[in-house]
């Protein structure tokens, strides 16, 4: 099986490339980098110092590749996936095979976001701790700088071995720099996405929607027989602390499986370590094949009806099959990201360098390609006022706060593209560009807008 396990690396990377896509959210980060190269600093809007991203290390890694950020983010994700598979093959082939055969792992190898790089660092930190590597602390630092929830995983590892803490002291000057530049100790999305409140009912539902499809996950329960072994105890502790204190507490995510992906390799690693007493290769191969066949069938039933039509986007209490949502071709032959690029670049030519302000509703790619002078992100990810509004009744995770019409007028929002009408008395216009046509609502009709009408 030695040659088989190493063949999983190119197989996994190629298979993930086949599923490659881009999430709209990563275009928020792209716009920050764009503004940096435009000489405006690491900001979303000129003069507004708001940290609207949660992955500073990922952002830094992307900077050298500007303006080819779309491709670079996908390649870095694929390389992270390949590195993860390689690490898993160091201890066998079952866990590596389960990762490659897991559709969500392949999907989140791209998407542009930091998900797979963070997952690689999570597994690397546990693996290096078990191997007693003296550089574990630096991996923990990189993990926390990639995503703040990495602090929970670092905490578990430090409980097992405190000696790795020293590199984490560098977080002190980092937090000071963040506060000095952005005015907050935490990134703005923390406040936009509930501000620290708990949402366990939604969070456990989010976990259940995942494990009800990926039923091989339940094999981890066999690992409790060997809980006294460090190679079982450490990853088990990381898995359950992360799932309960982060994923369940914050309500999971609106993107299917995304917040669970970082611990999936650890789950498979525990399963593999637990089954090491079995020398029956056909049994392990059967587990691998059955998991692939059964889980793909269950995933299809989760998202598709009997007529093979994809179910409504937000049917699962707001949880979305994100790669399908952004990658599915529309009636015009383009997916939503491609439409954003075509229209954004067309609008950029129309607007020129004039200081228009637009509202974006799940349209971060429009903000990047259109390079509008001011973009108001409706959910408050890049806007302190929206993010720090009081949270009322809980709803769809990550979309529970929004810009009011009053606030839009106060900020001088000129346009809203392709969204529901805010006020039927507002001017509604049609805009054509790149062979496509969109509806535009004018919120503020001033001399700047009249100059292009």
Contact 402, 377 (CB under 8 A): no
For the segment 434-448, the average pLDDT, to the nearest whole number, is 95
Of 162-176, 208-222, 279-293, 362-376, the least confident: 279-293
CA distance 382 to 380: 5
Give tens-digit pLDDT for 180-190. Answer: 999 999 999 99
Residue 254: its pLDDT value, please?
96
Is the Cα dihedral 190, 44, 56, 118 positive or negative? positive
- Same domain for 281 and 424, yes or no, is no
For residue 394, pLDDT beyond 90 = no
Q: Please tell me whether residues 26 and 118 are part of one structural domain.
A: yes
- Each residue of 318-327: pLDDT tens digit? 999 999 999 9
**Could you tell me if residue 116 is inside a domain?**
yes
- 102/18 same-domain check: yes
- Whose CA is closest to 152, among 52, 237, 265? 237
- What is the predicted pLDDT for the residue at 195? 65
What share of the chain has pLDDT > 90, as a percent? 90
Whether residue 423 is contained in a domain is answered as yes
Asked if residue 104 and residue 193 are part of one domain, the reply reads: yes
> How long is the chain?
453
Looking at residue 314, its pLDDT comes to 84
- For residue 254, tell me if it sits in a domain: yes
Quick one: pLDDT band at residue 391, thresholds 50, 70, 90? confident
Kindly calculate the radius of gyration of the chain based on its CA atoms and give it in whole angstroms: 23
pLDDT one-digit tens code per residue, 330-389: 989 999 999 999 999 999 999 999 999 999 999 999 999 999 999 999 999 999 999 999
Q: Does residue 267 share a domain with residue 359?
A: no
> Tokens 């509202």 label which residue?
359
Q: Is residue 52 part of a domain?
A: yes
Helices and strands counted in the chain (H then E): 22, 5
Which whole number is the average pLDDT over 381-403? Answer: 91
Is the pLDDT confidence value at 194 over 80? no
Q: Are residues 150 and 273 in the same domain?
A: yes
What's the average model confidence in pLDDT over 161-187?
A: 97
Answer whether residue 325 is part of any domain: no
Please indicate, yes or no, if residue 317 is contained in any of the structural domains: no
Q: Beta 374-377 vs 428-433: how paired, if at all?
A: unpaired
- Interval 97-105 mean pLDDT: 98
Residue 431 lies inside a defined structural domain of this protein? yes
Its pTM stands at: 0.97
Whole-number pLDDT of residue 439: 95
In 337-426, beta strands by DSSP E: 357-360, 374-377, 415-417
pLDDT at residue number 210: 98
- Note the pLDDT of residue 375: 98
Q: Total structural domains in the chain? A: 2
Is pLDDT above 90 for 86? yes
Domain end point (choices 303, 326, 354): 303
Region 293-314: what's the mean pLDDT?
94
Placement of tokens 């593999």 in the chain: 272
CA distance 410 to 427: 18
Query: Would you say residue 312 has pLDDT above 90?
Result: no
- My answer on whether omega of the bond before 67 falls inside 30° of 0, hence cis, is yes
> Are 146 and 270 members of one domain?
yes
**Do 90 and 22 share a structural domain?**
yes
Instruction: Domain of residue 342: give its range.
Output: 336-450
CB atoms inside a 10 Å sphere around CB 74:
20
Residue finishing a domain among 253, 282, 303: 303
Is the same domain home to 195 and 86? yes
Do the Cβ atoms of 372 and 357 come closer than 8 Å? Answer: yes
Cβ-based neighbours of 426, under 8 Å, separated by 6 or more:
441, 442, 443, 445
* Domain presence at residue 326: no
Are 13 and 109 in a shared domain?
Answer: yes
The answer to whether residues 10 and 154 belong to one domain is: yes
Q: What is the pLDDT of residue 395?
A: 86
Residues 25, 168: one domain? yes
Q: Which tokens belong to 154?
A: 């670092």
Q: Domain boundary at 247, 281, 303, which?
A: 303
pLDDT of residue 392: 76
């Amino acid at each position: 099986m030695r040659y088989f396990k190493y063949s999983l690396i190119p197989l996994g990377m190629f298979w993930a490339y086949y599923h490659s896509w881009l999430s709209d959210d990563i275009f928020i980060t792209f716009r920050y980098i764009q503004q940096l190269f435009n000489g405006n600093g690491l900001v979303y809007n000129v003069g507004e110092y708001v940290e609207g991203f949660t992955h500073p290390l990922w952002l830094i890694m992307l900077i050298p590749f500007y303006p080819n950020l779309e491709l670079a983010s996908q390649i870095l994700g694929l390389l992270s996936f390949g590195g993860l598979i390689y690490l898993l093959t160091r201890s066998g082939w079952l866990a590596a095979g389960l990762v490659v055969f897991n559709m969500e792992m392949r999907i989140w190898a791209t998407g542009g976001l930091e998900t797979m790089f963070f997952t690689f660092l999570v597994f690397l930190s546990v693996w290096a701790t078990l191997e007693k590597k003296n550089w574990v602390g630096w991996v923990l630092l990189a993990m926390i700088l990639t995503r703040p929830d990495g602090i929970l995983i670092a905490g578990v590892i430090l409980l097992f071995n405190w000696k790795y803490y020293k590199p984490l002291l560098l977080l002190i000057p980092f937090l000071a720099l963040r506060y000095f530049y952005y005015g907050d100790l935490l990134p703005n999305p923390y406040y936009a996405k509930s501000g620290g409140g708990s949402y366990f009912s939604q969070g456990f539902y989010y976990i259940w929607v995942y494990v009800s499809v990926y039923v091989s996950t339940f094999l981890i329960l066999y690992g409790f027989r060997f809980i006294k072994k460090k190679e079982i105890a450490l990853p088990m502790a990381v898995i359950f602390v992360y799932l309960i204190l982060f994923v369940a507490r914050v309500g999971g995510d609106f993107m299917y499986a995304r917040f669970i992906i970082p611990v999936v390799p650890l789950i498979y690693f525990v399963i593999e370590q637990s089954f090491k007493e079995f020398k029956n290769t056909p049994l392990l191969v059967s587990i691998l094949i059955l998991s692939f066949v059964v889980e793909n069938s269950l995933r299809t039933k989760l998202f598709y009806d009997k007529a093979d039509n994809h179910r409504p986007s937000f049917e699962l209490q707001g949880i979305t099959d994100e790669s399908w949502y952004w990658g599915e071709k529309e009636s015009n032959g383009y997916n939503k990201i491609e439409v954003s690029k075509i229209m954004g670049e067309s609008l950029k030519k129309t607007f020129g360098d004039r200081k228009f302000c637009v509202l974006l509703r799940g349209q971060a790619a429009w903000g990047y390609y259109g390079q509008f002078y001011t973009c108001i992100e409706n959910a408050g990810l890049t806007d302190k006022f929206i993010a720090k509004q009081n949270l009322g009744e809980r709803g769809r995770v990550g979309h529970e706060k929004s810009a009011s019409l009053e606030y839009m007028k106060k900020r001088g929002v000129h346009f809203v593209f392709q969204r529901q009408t805010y006020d039927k008395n507002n001017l509604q216009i049609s805009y054509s560009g790149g062979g496509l046509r969109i509806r535009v609502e004018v919120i503020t009709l001033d001399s700047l807008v009249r100059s292009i009408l």
